[in-house]
Structure 1
Amino acid sequence: MRAMKNARVVGSALLAVPLALAGCAGQDRPEATTADPGTCPTEPVSVVVSVDQWGDIVSQLGGACATVDTVVASSSVDPHDFEPSPADAVKFAGAQLVVLNGGHYDEWAAKLAAGSAPEAPVVSAIQPSDDHHDHDHAEGEGHDHDHAAEGNAHVWYSPTTVVTVADAVTAELSEIAPDAADYFAERRQDFTEALTPYDDAIAAIKQAAGGRSYAATESVFDPMAAELGLADRTPAGYAASSANETDPSPADLNAFLNLLADRGVDVLIYNSQTEGSAPLQLRAAAEQAGVPVVEVTETVAPEAESFQGWQVAQLKALAGALGVPT
């Protein structure tokens, strides 16, 4: 990855791997939002966020003291391949704070921040110095890794990263607008409380289903699966082709189909935003074999009221598939 040139970069030390979001379907989400939890004691901070996975979190943290403009706020747009318009560059030019995912996921945003807002502090969930392009799976039919620590760009699925980014955003907002520091501290505490159902669902699944296995059509959910203690049995060849944005070989696809036919995993994690014959074949095979299928999305579901609401809905679906009461 090309290193970002912005003034300051803070975030979690996680690695990155590009993973395409092909043919996503969905509705647009609001691009610019200002939450309304009380009155701001000072002028709101202008914040630009690259993608909506972080945009909603920043809006909750900023409240009435931040005007948040999320550039890619639609589930029909692939952040990897997004081509910003001149109007998007203008958004960055007025930013007092920039929040990025980092890695190869939103390089376009890093470039705009460096060119249009060189003095603005940057909160990046993935630090550029820790970015690595390749993600090598272990050899064999499956692999048991902590993908969040090993290099997965979908770090909003890492609970640790969510907390780290929230803390970093609050710190930057408080430095930019010191008169609102107490306000931002309250918003940060409110966000912690809002995450309680999310934290509880994670704890329940981890306690009751840790060690259970899954396979995935894409690696989007892997950081959360690692947090839950689930064992990843996705065939290595298939996982590698998915990471490289190529079709799996017949042998790799057959290995996955056979895994499902033999009920070699407890659940199939299915990215419902990705088109393609291979994922559809895998889903059909899982359903025929009686392997539960849990749908996840890469971007915030259009019907979700918040980041945590989106995440909790998916966690509850997984808990149901694994027989875990929530």
Structure 2
Amino acid sequence: MRSSSKIRIAALATISVAAAMALTACGSEKTGDDGISVVASTNVWGNVAQAVAGDVLTVTSIIDEPSADPHSFEATPAQAAKITDASLVVYNGGGYDQFVTDILDAGKGDQKTVNAYDLLDGGIHAGETSGESHDGHTHGAVNEHVWFDIPTVDAVAHSVADQLSALDPDNASTYEANAQAYSQKLAGITAVTDSIAAAHGGESVAQTEPIAHYLLVAAELKDATPEEFTSAIEDGNDPSPAAIAATRQLLSDKAARALVYNTQTQDKVTQDMRSTAEKAGVPVVEVTETLPEGLDYIQWQTQTAESLANALSAQ
């Protein structure tokens, strides 16, 4: 569960950052052409940034394992030093990958950054503290899982292009062209969610966590899960018996047409919900928080959207 991990990260944050500063003082060097290095918090944002960087630069992702949980990730001193020394840092923000914010705040502060959460809805969330933004778990409100919001991903790609162009003017046209090409690929995902909205808009689904909030919004679907249930699961707590019973009833009565299931944070409660859904004949749509092995962002989100479409059409 996440709660124990959060305790560990709070206890080790100062040590990790201090060690990173020591490594930096010893002269860790930037990598990449012309001394430009790009670091991303997760392989999700690393993959987006790499699509823009193309063959010019190699992007390093701190979290690149499908089983890792960015909420509670503890950066090693070497990883913290990579973030501190990077020319450009691309991260989720909104309290999701807090380890990056902590390291940036403790560092020199002279590198360029792209904060995806700050670009949500045209950047209206820039300047919010992680505490303020991380509170946005209520249905219909903002939450930090912005890689499911295609306009935000598009904005990140273009922001990365702008930042790289400033760092490397000689290759600016390449970065800009790559970002434009990426926009066209992202449009394919939007086409799938638009088709879901046309065929199933207004229908109800359930989630074990509010991970795919923006996917459901784009598809015009209603998340009927009790907020008390999803918030408790996301925070690493046990939902109340009443919330568990209400969610189980939602699935057993087939009031939800699909269960969106986060495979990276399973426990007995979520596994019980999956079992309840399967017994009732409610399709399960698996989602993750980091890139599955062997897929890039476009493939991953296209498959996720198509899985949702297929689940809704199966009944």
TM-score range relative to shorter protein: 0.7 to 0.9
Instruction: Percent identity, please.
Output: 34
Which ranges of structure 2 fall in alignment gaps of 5 or more residues?
A: 6-32, 119-125
Q: Distance in 2 between matches of 1:170 and 1:59?
A: 10
- Confirm whether residue 307 of structure 1 aligns to residue 305 of structure 2: no
Cα distance in 2, alignment partners of residues 286 and 122 from structure 1: 42
Distance 2:222 2:4 in 1: 26
Matches within 5 A, 1:32-181: 43=34, 45-127=36-118, 129-131=127-129, 132=132, 133-135=134-136, 137=138, 145-146=139-140, 150-181=141-172
Residue equivalent to 1:271:
262
1:56-86 per-residue CA deviation (whole Å, 9 max, x = no partner) reads 0000101122221111111222212211112
Per-residue CA deviations over 1:12-31 (Å, capped at 9, x if unaligned) read xxxxxxx95999xxxxxxxx
- Using the alignment, how far apart are the partners of 1:265 and 1:320 within structure 2? 15
Q: Report how far residue 275 of structure 1 moved.
A: 2.0
Residue ranges of structure 1 left out of the alignment (5+ in a row): 1-18, 24-41, 138-144
Given that residues 158 and 223 in structure 1 are in contact (C-alpha distance below 8 angstroms), is that contact kept between their aligned partners in structure 2?
yes
Match of 1:250 among 227, 235, 241: 241
The range that moved more, 203-212 or 219-228, is 203-212
Secondary structure, counterpart of 1:129 in structure 2: coil
Contact (CA 8 Å) 1:135, 1:243: kept in 2 or not?
no
Cα offset, 1:51, TM superposition: 1.0
Question: Paired residue for 1:197, among 188, 195, 207?
Answer: 188
d(CA) in 1 for partners of 2:237, 2:152:
28
The residue identity in structure 2 corresponding to 1:101 is N
Q: Which residue of 2 aligns with 1:140?
A: none
Map 1:225-304; keep pairs closer than 5 Å: 225-304=216-295
For 1:21 and 1:105, the matched residues in 2 are separated by 14
Query: 1:267-321 CA distances to partner (integer Å, 9 max, x unpaired)?
Result: 11111222211111111111111111111111111131x1010111111111111
Amino acid corresponding to residue 134 of structure 1 in structure 2:
D
Question: Any idea what SS the aligned residue of 2:206 has?
Answer: strand
Instruction: Verify the 8 A CA contact 2:154 2:186 in the aligned structure 1.
Output: no
For 2:20, the equivalent position in structure 1 comes to none
Relative to its length, the structure with more helix (as a share) is 2
Cα distance in 1 for partners of 2:163, 2:244 equals 46
CA distance in 2, matches of 1:249, 1:116: 41
Q: RMSD of aligned C-alpha atoms?
A: 2.2
Aligned equivalents of 1:44, 1:271: Cα separation in 2? 39
Distance 1:134 1:78 in 2: 18
Encode CA deviations 1:238-277: one digit per residue, 9 max, x unaligned. 1232243201121111111111111111111111222211
Q: Are positions 1:208 and 2:199 aligned together? A: yes
Pick closer, same or farther for the CA change 1:62–1:124 going to 2, 3 Å: same
> 1:22–1:317: structure 2 CA closer, same or farther, 3 Å change rule?
farther
Write the letter of the residue equivalent to 1:75: P
Which structure has the higher relative contact order (CA within 8 Å, separation 6+)?
A: 1
Report the TM-score, using the length of structure 2 for normalisation.
Answer: 0.82
Q: In structure 1, how many angstroms separate the alpha carbons of the residues matched to 2:224 and 2:293?
A: 30
